[in-house]
Structure 1
Amino acid sequence: MFQDSPIYDRLVAERGDVPAGVRREADRLRREVEAVMLPLRPPGVPGAVLPPPPAPSSQWQRVHQLPGAGVP
């Protein structure tokens, strides 16, 4: 990417190749996330992923509680 760049070469020598390290870490995280997400794939459908759960409603909803629960 930065061929013939003495400044970049010196920075790599002093600090390491940060962009390459970031790419390696991103690849590692991608593989880890893929492994975690595998259970969400329906059997027999390669590459398919189940749809995400529905978003919570922004409307008021009744909450079921036992009698006397939440009463001070």
Structure 2
Amino acid sequence: MFTDTPIFSRLVAERGDVPAEVRGEADRIHRDLARVMPPGTGLTGAGQHAPGPMGPPPGR
């Protein structure tokens, strides 16, 4: 994506490859979650939707 741009190269040199570190952490978390919560298991039942971060929509 931006890996060939001078500004990206400079930022990587100064701060490290943050996008690669984030991808690695996300992959690790995904593997950990898959181990403790196999696909198909979830906290909500089939056809039900969990409320969003602000609670259920008005009128519910």
Please classify the TM superposition score into its range, dividing by the shorter chain length: 0.5 to 0.7
Identify unmatched segments of 5+ residues in structure 1. Answer: 39-46, 55-72
Identify unmatched segments of 5+ residues in structure 2. Answer: 46-60
> Aligned-residue CA RMSD in angstroms?
2.4
Q: TM-score, normalised by structure 1?
A: 0.52
The number of residues matched between the two structures is 46
Counterpart mapping for 1:15-54 below 5 A:
15-38=15-38, 49-50=40-41, 52=43
Give the fraction of aligned pairs with identical amino acids, expressed as a percent.
56
User: 2:52 maps to which residue?
Assistant: none
User: 1:12 maps to which residue?
Assistant: 12
Moved over 6 A (4+): none
State how far apart, in whole Å, the 1-side matches of 2:11 and 2:35 are.
Answer: 35
Partner SS, residue 13 of structure 2: helix
Q: TM-score, normalised by structure 2?
A: 0.61
